[in-house]
Amino acid sequence: MKLELERLPQELKEQKCWICWRLEPKGEGEKPDKVPYNPVNGKKAMSNNPATWGSFQQAVKAMEKFGFSGLGFVFSKVNSYVGVDIDNCRNPETGELTAEAQDIVDKLSSYTEISPSGKGIHIIVKGELPKSGRKNSRTSVEMYESGRYFTMTGNRLPGTPSEVAERTEALQEVHSKYILGQRKKGSKARD
């Protein structure tokens, strides 16, 4: 998928929460990993160590210099951003979303972009997540406010806002419905 970095929200570009990533083979028959890299020195980065992150400009330069696959935005306790990741919810040929993904997009109404695979979406909002549960494998919905990063494309989902909105109340509702709700019997929220 083509990167459209100029379309990323300016407020995200102003954060010093950027890394690069490279698609690297894992093992035979396994899906490759998106390995994070420090944009300042080209060495591996950690999503829980701000010393391994850089500015947007540093990440863009490092992507070209080191031949990285793309850029990543790190969610951290030092900012109020929350990322909502929904896998396998978009038809890459038609652009159509699943009913659940469309419901989440409508409720959160914030900057939303198409993931590098073209099959998923990333929504970024400002707000606070409930204390328990970050992932529900049954709904393919994940929510993070720290210790994770999103691979960024700038390929905004048509019809969604170009800016990041404050959505604490809507996050609570989406979390309750798609992270805590619809769980398989006997499964627990993953923190």
Distance CA 176, CA 67 (A): 40
Q: What is the bridge-based pairing of β-strands 33-37 and 141-144?
A: unpaired
Label each residue of 158-183 as H, E or C: CCCCCCCCECHHHHHHHHHHHHHCCC
- 142 catalytic? Reply is yes
Catalytic residue among 87, 100, 103, 128: 87
Distance CA 148, CA 46 (A): 9
Distances (CA, A) of 150 to 35, 76, 103, 188: 11, 12, 21, 24
- 175 catalytic? Reply is no
Cα end-to-end span (Å), the chain = 31
DSSP element (H, E) containing 82: strand 81-86
Catalytic residue among 85, 113, 145, 175: 85
Catalytic residue among 33, 64, 96, 122: 122
- Best CA proximity match to 170, nearest among 92, 107, 105, 94: 107
Catalytic residue among 14, 28, 33, 142: 142
- 87 catalytic? Reply is yes
- 64 catalytic? Reply is no
Active centre residues (catalytic): 85, 87, 122, 142
